[in-house]
Structures are given as C-alpha cells and as structure tokens.
C-alpha cells in the first residue's frame, strides 16, 4: 500500500558516498568533533539534510566508548500518584537540559515488579536509575551499581555503596505536627499508617511515637492503625475508631490517600469540624475543603530535581567514585484549619 515504507533508511554510508567523503568524516561532522575542514563540514551537513539523514542513537551507543544511551530510568510506586508524578516531572526537566530522556515504570510497591523493571531498564543500557525502592531489592541494586550504572534512591533511605539518596524529613515533620495537636490539648490521637515494610511509614510512626515520648505518654496502641493500603481502608478504619468507645479527638494520617480516606470518614459522620485532622503529604484543593485540611507538605519537585542532579553528575562521570551522599529535604507544616481544631472538651 504505502510505497516508501520498506526502503532502508538513509545511513551514514549513504551520506558519505553522496558527499564524496569517508565514513569517518561524516561521523566526525555529525558528532561535531574538531579537525574537519570547514568546507567538508558544510558539504556533509548539507548532504545529510538533503538526504534526510537521521542519526541512529541506538547504533551509535553500541560502539561509543562511554556506551551512553542518553536515557535514564525512573522506578516509581505509581506514575499516576500525585507525589510520584510531580517527582517524575522534576526529573524530566532536569534531564531535558542535558538532552536525556526518561523511561518510567510503576512498581505498585511489589518487590517482584520492581525487580522486573530494574532488569528491563538495565538490559536497555540506561545511563542511570532513579528508584523509589520497595526496600526488598537492595542486593539487586547493589549488583547493578557494582556493574557501573549510577543509581539514586528517592523518598526512602537505603544504605548501598555509592548509591545516593534523597529523602524527606518524615520523622521530624510528623513529630512537630503531632506536637501541635498535643499543644492544643489533644490526648487521644489516632495514627493511620501505610505498610510497615515502607521506610517512610516507619519513620512517620517513629515521629508520632517521639511526640508521645517527649510528653512522657505511651502511644495508645488501640488508636494506631498501620498497614493501610488504600483510601477505602483508611475510611473504614477511621469510621471504626470514631464510632467506638473513647474515640480519638484528633487523627494523624501518614499518607495522602489515607488523609483523603480519613476526611471522607469524618464528613460521613459529620464531625469534620470537631475532630482534628492532619495529613502527611499535600494534595490538590486540600485548601478548598471546609475546614481546609492541614498537612505536613513535602516538596516532590525539590526531591526530584535533587535526585536528578546527583544522578546526572555521576552519569557525566568524573565524580562517580565519590561515596554516597544522603540529602534530606525539609517538610513544611501548612495550617488550614483541620489541624487547629481543639479537642471537644
């Protein structure tokens, strides 16, 4: 049907022949290497354009000394999650400045899937990897790193030789938020947390515990719900807590989906003005709810940008020998009302 489709695409050899120069010269011109007479440069450039030559990055990286593919990969929990996608965007922007493209994939918090993704990416010879690690793939990451591929882990701390990390100050952020609740007089504070296998979930709970310890009060285990994986789970757990005996006067939700679930439960019971709520991680239009939802905000863009910078500096080479660097990005408490509700006497 279409005629021209099956014709071989034009190659450097074609350009060389047409321009009456050697293959090596074309390569030099295309790569902007010095030591070619201006006249030849002009001729080659022109012929290339005339023939519609397109440089084949794949073939090029095969022989190239540094074997760079100008591609990095991003392993996220879910590319559609607001935190992940904001991070993705920041990474993309930093990469673009150097003409680098980004492959992205979602692990869904499954170590198996994470492993597959890392595998698929490295088989394609990506220049570097930014990973939001499930925590069960340290050996694999170490092996990949050992083979030479630079890696930066984001959001969760891991200790692997020459693997940088960029994390958020989870413990401190949580601690100071819960402290505010205590200062308002809250004594029965519920905690909703994600899977315990997740580093951030543990850190946030630790911050929660810190705030209690500081006041010389033990954490009330009956108000703690960990291992919640969805908005629905948070909704159910919150409803249960509030309709039981001695209900909490405040709720701390340690993840954005959980915050939404908790809030939905509060509104379901019509007590959003009476029970305090603070969430970890901001979400869209949290300020438009009544009352607005107070949160411990993270800055995914900064996390992403920092991670990309660390990675790209290693990719560029030169400082890839340096030991791991661990950057911690601070959080910011955003008061919008729901965290400022005093206990109902």
Q: Is 200 left (phi over 0), alpha (psi -120 to 50) or beta?
A: alpha
Q: Does 321 help bind a copy of itself (rule: CB under 8 A)? A: yes
Residue 66 within binding range of a copy of itself, rule CB under 8 A: no
Pick what 20 binds: a copy of itself, DNA, none; C-beta below 5 to 8 Å, kind-dependent: DNA
102 binds, among a copy of itself, DNA, none (CB under 5 to 8 A by kind): a copy of itself
Q: Does 136 bind a copy of itself (CB under 8 A)?
A: no
Q: Residue 31 touches which of DNA, a copy of itself, none (CB < 5 to 8 A by kind)?
A: DNA
Is the Cβ of residue 262 or residue 296 nearer to a copy of itself in the bound state?
Answer: 262
DSSP sequence for 112-139: HHHHHHHHHHHHTT-SEEEE---SS-HH
Residue 26 vs 297, nearer CB to DNA: 26
- Quote the strand ranges of 206-345, DSSP E: 224-225, 250-253, 276-280, 294-297, 326-329, 332-334
Name which of 119 and 159 has its Cβ closer to DNA: 119
Pick 40 or 70: Cβ nearer a copy of itself: 70
Of the two residues 223 and 258, which places its CB atom closer to a copy of itself in the complex?
258
Nearest alpha-carbon partner for 45 in 21, 9, 61, 69: 21
Contacts of range 314-318, beta carbons closer than 8 Å, 24 or more positions apart: 314/128, 314/150, 314/152, 314/164, 315/68, 315/72, 315/100, 315/127, 315/128, 315/150, 317/66
Spatial separation of the C-alpha atoms in residues 330 and 336, rounded to whole Å: 19
Can you tell me which residue has the tokens 């069960």?
136
11-50 footprint of a copy of itself as x/- string (CB under 8 A): ----------------------------------------
- Residue 98 CB, shortest distance to DNA, in Å, is 17
In sequence order, what are the residues at sequence separation of 6 or more whose Cβ sits closer than 8 angstroms to the Cβ of residue 137?
111, 114, 115, 118
Find the binder of a copy of itself among 18, 25, 47, 69 (CB under 8 A).
69
Closer by beta carbon to DNA, 28 or else 88:
28
Residue 13 contact among a copy of itself, DNA, none, beta carbon within 5 to 8 Å by kind? DNA
Write out the residues near DNA by the rule CB under 7 A: 8-9, 11-13, 20-28, 30-31, 34-37, 39-40, 53-56, 59-60, 62-66
Q: How many CB atoms lie within 10 A of CB 19?
A: 21
All residues at 6 or more sequence positions from 175 whose CB lies less than 8 Å from its CB, including other chains: 207, 208, 210, 211, 214
Q: Which does 136 bind (CB under 5 to 8 A by kind): DNA, a copy of itself, none?
A: none
For DNA, which is the closer residue by CB, 26 or 277?
A: 26
Strands 71-76 and 151-154: unpaired
Nearest CB to a copy of itself, comparing residues 57 and 224: 57
Q: Are 200 and 329 in contact (CB under 8 A)?
A: no
Phi-psi region of 111 (alpha: psi -120 to 50; beta: other; left: phi over 0): alpha
Q: Among residue numbers 80 through 119, which ones bind a copy of itself (CB under 8 A)? A: 80-82, 85-86, 88-89, 92, 96, 99, 101-106
CA-CA distance, 261 to 230, in Å (whole number)? Answer: 8
Contact residues for a copy of itself (CB under 8 A)? 1-2, 4-6, 9, 54-59, 61-62, 69, 71, 78-82, 85-86, 88-89, 92, 96, 99, 101-106, 120-125, 146-148, 162, 260, 263-264, 267, 283-286, 288-290, 321
């Amino acid at each position: 049907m279409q005629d021209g489709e099956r014709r071989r695409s034009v190659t450097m050899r074609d350009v060389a022949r047409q321009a009456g120069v050697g293959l090596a010269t074309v390569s030099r011109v295309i790569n902007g290497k010095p030591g070619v007479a201006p006249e030849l440069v002009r001729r080659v450039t022109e012929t290339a354009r005339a023939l519609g030559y397109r440089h084949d990055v794949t073939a090029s990286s095969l022989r190239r000394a540094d074997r760079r593919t100008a591609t990095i990969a991003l392993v996220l929990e879910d590319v559609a999650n607001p935190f992940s996608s904001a991070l993705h965007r920041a990474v993309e922007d930093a990469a673009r400045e150097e003409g680098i493209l980004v492959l992205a994939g979602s692990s869904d918090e499954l170590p198996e899937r994470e492993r597959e993704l890392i595998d698929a990416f490295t088989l394609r010879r990506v220049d570097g990897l930014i990973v939001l690690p499930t925590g069960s793939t340290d050996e694999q990451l170490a092996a990949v790193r050992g083979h030479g591929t630079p890696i930066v882990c984001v959001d969760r701390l891991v200790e692997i030789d020459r693997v940088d990390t960029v994390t958020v100050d989870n413990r401190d952020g949580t601690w100071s938020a819960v402290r505010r609740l205590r200062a308002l007089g809250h004594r029965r504070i519920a905690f909703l947390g994600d899977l315990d296998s997740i580093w951030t979930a543990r850190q946030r709970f630790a911050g929660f515990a810190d705030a209690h310890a500081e006041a010389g009060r033990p954490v009330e285990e009956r108000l703690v719900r960990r291992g919640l994986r969805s908005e629905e789970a948070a909704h159910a757990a919150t409803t249960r807590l509030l309709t039981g005996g001695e209900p909490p006067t405040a709720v701390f939700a340690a993840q954005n989906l959980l915050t939404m679930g908790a809030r939905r439960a509060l509104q379901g019971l019509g007590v959003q003005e009476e029970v305090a709520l603070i969430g970890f991680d901001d979400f869209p239009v949290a300020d438009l709810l009544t009352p607005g939802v107070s949160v411990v905000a993270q800055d995914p863009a900064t996390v992403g940008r920092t991670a990309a910078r660390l990675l790209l500096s290693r990719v560029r080479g030169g400082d890839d020998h340096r030991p791991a660097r661990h950057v911690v990005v601070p959080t910011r408490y955003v008061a919008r009302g729901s965290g400022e509700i005093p206990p109902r006497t």
